[in-house]
Each structure stands twice: as structure tokens, then as C-alpha cells.
Homo-oligomer: A and B are copies of this chain.
Amino acid sequence: MVADELAQRIVAAKSTRRATKELIYEHALHLFATRSYARTGLRDIAQAVGVEVASLYSHISGKKALLFDLMEFGTRDLLQRLQAAVDEVDSPALRLHALVSEHVAINCRRQNQTLVTFNEIRELDTAQREVIFPLRDQIAQLYLDAVTAGIDDGSFRPVPVRITVNGVLSLERGVATWYDPTGAKTPEEVAELHADQALRGLLRVELLTAAGDRTLDAELLRDLVGDGSGVPVDDAE
């Protein structure tokens, strides 16, 4: 090939550089989620994007780094959204409700992200996992804090905190495995259902009695436990 042709190619490459990099990450996420990381070759990703394998290396440093980037971005983003969801919520019950409904909705909307993040963690090397695990711990801590505070202020039963939180997190992850975006339920509806279910397992019975069989949404919860700025209302209804 003559020099001009090469120059031309490089110019063309640069003008679509950002788009190509995004395409790589998009298709990689999709393939990793549906076929698994191990069963997805760089050749599959290159083909989906429409380039040769060697060309991938102007955008990524390797297959494992590609997986790591996807997992790190997804986990960081999730943490930030959950932190934002509980940011100015004082009442523990309302905080847990916000965590569960936000988390479930995210796991519905970004199924592939969730699936890859949890199915492929073993593929990372130790150094990479040492970045992801603290992020996960921070997410779990939001839940641990909410449940602990809820027990302390008397809105939750005195459950074993760690196991309960593990249960809630498992429930949320599971959503990514079965949620059907073409089905009847919206992410928000699934979120509300799971939040209701989780809260009912935790709230003290006196509060549940006041709620009856109505859905435990944020508004009803605020009536039941107060908004954290004053005395809990335990004779609502």
C-alpha cells in the first residue's frame, strides 16, 4: 500500500475513533452477557463491530482489560446512583425502599451489565478484583446501614443484618436473569413489587398492621414511619 492510502485510513479511523470504541464496548457487553466471557473470542467482537481483530488493539489493551472496564464502570455507576437515591432520605425504612426500588429498576434496564458483572468476576485477576470488591462493599454498606438503623429506630424487626442484606442483594441480582423487557411489567413495576416484598419481611408487625394489604410505596411508608425529621407515626391509617 502507498503512503497516501495509509494516511487516508488513519484519518478515517480517527474521525470515527470514539464511535468505534463505544461499539466495541457495546458489543463486548452483549456477547459477554449472552455467550459468556470465555466463549466470546476477540474475533466475535471484531466481527460484530465490523473490523479485524488486530484493530481492536488501538482501542483496548487486551480482552481482560475490556472486561474489567465494563465491570468497573457498571459497578461505579450503580454505587453512585444508589448513593444519590438515599442521599437526603433520613428514615431507614424509606432509605431501604429507595435502595431496593432503584436497584431493581437498574438491574431490569441494564440486564447485560448486571449479568456480566456478577457472572464473570472470576475471570478478573487479583489486582482487578481488588478494585471491584471495595465498590461492591460500599454498595452493600448502604444496605447494611439502612437495615441496622431501621432495627435501632424500631421500624424493623431485629433480624440478622448481614444475612438479610445478602438476601435482598440476591433477589435484586436475580431480576437480571429473568426480567423480560418485552413482557408486561415495566422495570418500575417490578421494582415496586420487590421493594414491597422486602419491606414486608422487615417491618415490625405493628407497622404492617397499620399498612394492611396496601402496597408499601414511599408515600405509605412515610405515613407509617415518619420522614425521619420528627417522631415516627405509629398510629397511622
Q: Which residues of A contact B (CB under 8 A)?
A: 34-39, 119, 122-123, 157-160, 163-164, 166-167, 169-171, 173-175, 177-178, 185, 190, 193-194, 196-198, 200-202, 204-205, 208-209, 211-213
Q: Are B204 and A213 closer than 8 Å at their CB atoms?
A: yes
Q: How far is the CA of A38 from the CA of B38 in the complex (A)?
A: 6
Q: Which residues of B contact A201 (CB under 8 A)?
A: 196-198, 200-201
**A34 nearest CB neighbor, chain B only:** B122
* In the bound complex, CA of A160 to CA of B39 (Å): 36
Known: A39-B123, A209-B205. Contact between A178 and B200, CB under 8 A? no
A39-B122, A167-B174, A170-B173 given; name 12 further pairs at CB < 8 Å: A34-B122, A36-B123, A163-B190, A166-B174, A167-B197, A169-B174, A170-B175, A173-B174, A200-B200, A205-B209, A205-B213, A208-B208
Which chain B residue lies CB-closest to A211?
A: B205
Q: What is the bound-complex CA distance between A82 and B119, given in angstroms?
A: 26
Q: How far is the CA of A71 from the CA of B138 in the complex (A)?
A: 34
Residues of B within 8 A of A211 (CB): 205
- Residues in chain B near residue A193, CB distance under 8 A: 159-160, 163-164
Chain A facing B: main interface SS: helix
Closest chain B residue to A169 by CB distance? Answer: B174
Of the candidates B38, B164, B177, the one whose C-beta lies within 8 Å of that of A36 is B38
Min CB distance A151 to B, Å, is 12
- Select which of B123, B163, B170, B190 is within 8 A of A177 by beta carbon: B170
Which residue on B lies nearest to A178, using beta carbons?
Answer: B166
11 contacts between A and B (CB under 8 A): A36-B122, A39-B123, A167-B171, A170-B177, A170-B178, A171-B174, A173-B174, A197-B202, A200-B200, A205-B211, A205-B212
